Amino acid sequence: MELTDTSLVVLLSVLALAVFALVVAGVPREGRRPVQLTLRAAQVLLLNVLVVALCGAALNDQYFFYSSWADLFGSRSPALDVHHGGSAHEVVAAAVRGPGLRGLTTPATLPPLAQPGSRLQTYTVVAGRSHAEGQVYVYLPVGYDPRARRTYPVILGLHGFPSGPKSFLRLSFLSDIDSLTAAHRMAPSIVVVPRIDTPAGLDTECVNGAPGQPQTDTWLSRDIPAWTIHHFRVERTRTAWATIGYSYGAWCAASVSMRHPDVFGASIVLLGYFRPDFSRSYDPLSSRGLRDYDLVAMARTSPPPLAMWVLTSRDDQLSYPSTSRFLSVAHAPLDVAGTVLAHGGHRNGVFTPYVPAALTWLAQTLPGFHA
């Protein structure tokens, strides 16, 4: 019986009910009392184990954290490295339409840091264009001095859902960036981690809805870059700006980068997908509006000059279907590299070991991140 079979949930339910019935009935009713107590204790313990296993199986059936028994017990999946589309040179040399970051200026005197002396800064940002408000964390490189004139590349870190920016900070991204920087394999970078479900708890899929609805695409592509440039010493060229995200955040990273290559030169997409996946409670796009966010169609008909690193798993029912279609149609000037795993569910433990490789690729691909 496979881990993802619905029959596993049914079997665990039947076993839990059977043991529960034994506990309620007080079986066994005869025999020595010490033996009865021991058997009753064993039944209660077994019932708890079955209930926990049932909850885990039901959650796995819903969210597909683990794809198989081997995946559950830590078996490493075979991996296939892929490359589709153009080259990094084409991405860097391409002329890109759009305002980008050129019209934004950094003041001579920056606003004071929210937490002076700390590498991790916390802000609440109220945006003008998108009318959004959300918490934003900023992770500064070692030695950052707002009074100095040195500027830094920017990584926009995007979290999963349901979650928040703190979940991004708890993973290995920041420590991996520090390790590569310390080894002189990547340029010191500023990492900006905004809340991407604005308002919090709403699965916006990072799109712009109709007037009066959340404008999350604008929040990420215009408001956050403008705010960052106003508050920190950063580069203002697209080849020094990149996005990275996982799951829902990976979709957002791919979407905002492909739709705004005048701002972002690269994107790292970890177990993401390439068409929006709205919940039943919120779907702001008409069929016409949905076409604007169909990244598979965009890769086929009008690929942007963007470098992208993708990780997916053939067992991941959320990530793999649209990612495989995306890879099959990607062509220049879009440049897509990455890894396809033979096995692995939709969880942090699948993509975490590949983050250093993805960041190394970024440092080798975009000039702004060269060590």
Asked if residues 225 and 104 have their Cβ atoms less than 8 Å apart, the reply is yes
Task: Quote the strand ranges of the chain, DSSP E.
Answer: 79-85, 120-126, 133-139, 154-158, 190-194, 241-246, 266-270, 307-313, 335-341
Question: Which position has the token pair 């340029």?
Answer: 187
Say which amino acid occupies 36: Q
Question: Nearest 5°: phi and psi at 298?
Answer: -65, -40
CA dist 214 and 197 (Å) reads 9
Output the pLDDT for position 280. 77
Output the pLDDT for position 44. 72
CATH of domain 79-369: 3.40.50.1820
Residue 169's alpha-carbon distances to 27, 98, 138, 173, 345, in angstroms, are 51, 31, 10, 7, 22
Cβ-Cβ contacts under 8 Å for 18 (sequence gap 6 or more) = none
Q: Is there a cis peptide before residue 211, judged by omega within 30 degrees of 0? A: no
Output the pLDDT for position 257. 98
Output the pLDDT for position 145. 94
Could you tell me how far CA 182 lies from the centroid of its own chain? Answer: 24
Output the pLDDT for position 321. 95
Residue 226's alpha-carbon distances to 72, 200, 232, 242, 285, in angstroms, are 43, 21, 10, 15, 26
For the chain, list residues with pLDDT below 50. none
> Any idea where the domains of the chain sit in the sequence?
6-63, 79-369
Output the pLDDT for position 179. 98
